[in-house]
Amino acid sequence: MKSCITCLAMLLFLACNEAQDTVSTTATLITDVAIIDVTNGEILNDRQIVVDSGKIKQLSTAIENADKYATKIDGKGKYVVPGLAEMHAHIPQPPTSPERTEDVLFLYLSNGITTIRGMLGHPTHLELREKAKNGAVLSPRIFTSSPSFNGNSVKTKEEAIEMVTAYKNEGYDFLKIHPGVQREVFDQMVKTANEVGIPFAGHVPVAVGIRHALESRYASIDHVDGFLEGLVPESENVKPNENGFFGYNFTPLADTSKIDELVQLSKEKEVWIVPTQSLFTKWFAPADVDDLLALPEMKYMPASTLEDWKRRKIASTGEDSSFDAEQWKNFDAIRKELLKKLSENGHGILLGSDAPQLFNVPGFSIHKEMQDMADAGMTNLEIIQSGTLNPARYFDMQDKFGEIKAGLAADFILIDGNPLENLKALQQVSGVMVQGKWLSKEAIDERLQSISNKK
């Protein structure tokens, strides 16, 4: 009996040793790295991260059998932050080629964007979303809107019912609202969307107005649309359709004392805001078109796109337009005040730049967006949270992504500096982990060069 017990003990000892010596052949180890806790801004120094099967498997201060990992990444002197979300992205659709679409998706990834919310849906995006999910295409995680609800696509309540129901059944993640929808049609759309269980987001049609939009509980209002118009006193008797570019024409009439009311309503109704502030500091701004075209990331865009952007920019803010730089300064100041107060006292801000839009190159434009948010008074931690924690909360997927945490998706960026001290550190990418797949700086640079050569 004693001999049997001794043998059993030996077998258990050997089994434990064998288990300790076993390291998955598909696992990746990142060593001695500083992890940024995006919940509170704490820096966790000298951590070891084990990634396998698309997940963060382990976080620790020390790791056994480190020499047995086939793939090891030296994180000494570097920082890890969760992958960013571009919450106002655009995904190419036919007739754009699949090859170009994959290049655009890579442009997002090259800047550490591991989640995108596509804001103008197409049936091909449903298939692309699934390919991204199962790794059939190298891509950020995709959420896609429906095709557009606008004044031309939906003119009656009956059409609203039919379209909302169809897009829900087809599997779109949410409905995209554009300008032009009439109030009664909008209300029917909201009613049906609530009944079938699909959220809606985007612009605020003039006939709807910001207060009714907030009361209707948009999932997100993008571009801070409708807010400036909402600051104009009723006594001014303006014609709503004469608001200009996101309310620019009404700038002299805006009563900023009304901002707190709108911010409070957005909080009460739990409406997220996607500022896309970079649109208003590049496209609709006194920025020189040639300076914008000279930005280094423009080499990744087709020449035909750049020509179109140049033409539209000149039409919007050129000498023959009605653009007034002094009025723009006031317009910009109001937008910054709105953004800061919505960040401090509203429901929350989501990071989004509206790429590719005029001079907003996918991936690269998010850095300009973050700087614009900083210029509005948001802290670096708040800005990082707007692209990590907040999107996870928005999608109710805190158990999937948004933090560096064991059990969550292995979607993160390895960078050379601390972005809590300097946001530009997020541009110093040493590598990107997406769904557990490692993209080294060398691999990223090689692919970017290939995209540039296709221009």
pLDDT at 454: 81
- Convert the pLDDT of each residue in 391-444 to its tens digit: 999 999 999 999 999 999 999 999 999 999 999 999 999 999 999 999 999 999
- Convert the pLDDT of each residue in 117-148 to its tens digit: 999 999 999 999 999 999 999 999 999 999 99
Q: Tokens in use for 161?
A: 């019912």
Rounded Cα gap, residues 243 and 206, in angstroms:
9
Q: Quick one: which of 217, 185, 214 has its CA closest to 199? A: 217
pLDDT at 431: 97
The CA–CA distances, whole Å, from 60 to 38, 70, 126 equal 17, 19, 38
pLDDT at 21: 55
Rounded Cα gap, residues 223 and 88, in angstroms:
9
- Convert the pLDDT of each residue in 301-346 to its tens digit: 999 999 999 999 999 999 889 899 999 999 999 999 999 999 999 9
- Convert the pLDDT of each residue in 279-289 to its tens digit: 999 999 999 99
The residues with which 56 forms a beta bridge, in sequence order, are: 51
Residue 18 has pLDDT above 60, yes or no: no
Structure-model confidence comparison of residues 14 and 249, the more confident one? 249
Instruction: Tell me the average pLDDT across 20-47.
Output: 92
Residue 106 has pLDDT above 90, yes or no: yes
Lowest mean pLDDT among 19-23, 55-59, 154-158, 383-387: 19-23
Do residues 70 and 25 lie in contact, with contact meaning Cβ atoms separated by under 8 Å? yes
Burial class (CB in 10 A: 0-12, 13-18, 19+), 75: buried
Rounded Cα gap, residues 269 and 347, in angstroms:
8
Q: Cα dihedral sign for 302, 245, 350, 178?
A: negative
pLDDT at 76: 96
Residue 20 has pLDDT above 60, yes or no: no
Instruction: State whether residue 20 is helix, strand or coil.
Output: helix
For residue 455, name the pLDDT band (cuts at 50, 70, 90).
Answer: low
pLDDT at 152: 96
pLDDT at 17: 40
Q: Quick one: which of 343, 344, 362 has its CA closest to 353? A: 362
Q: Quick one: which of 91, 120, 122, 88 has its CA closest to 106? A: 91
Rounded Cα gap, residues 356 and 343, in angstroms:
25
Rounded Cα gap, residues 130 and 144, in angstroms:
11
Structure-model confidence comparison of residues 14 and 300, the more confident one? 300
- Convert the pLDDT of each residue in 46-81 to its tens digit: 999 999 999 999 999 998 888 899 899 999 999 999
Rounded Cα gap, residues 241 and 243, in angstroms:
5
Instruction: Tell me the average pLDDT across 348-358.
Output: 96
Residue 16 has pLDDT above 60, yes or no: no
Instruction: Tell me the average pLDDT across 26-46.
Output: 96
Angle between helices 157-170 and 183-196 (to 10 degrees): 30
Which element (helix H / strand E) includes 118?
Answer: strand 113-118
Instruction: Tell me the average pLDDT across 5-34.
Output: 65
The residues with which 349 forms a beta bridge, in sequence order, are: 273
Residue 374 has pLDDT above 70, yes or no: yes
Average pLDDT, whole number, for the chain? 94
Domains, in order of start, for the chain = 83-397 (3.20.20.140)
pLDDT at 154: 97
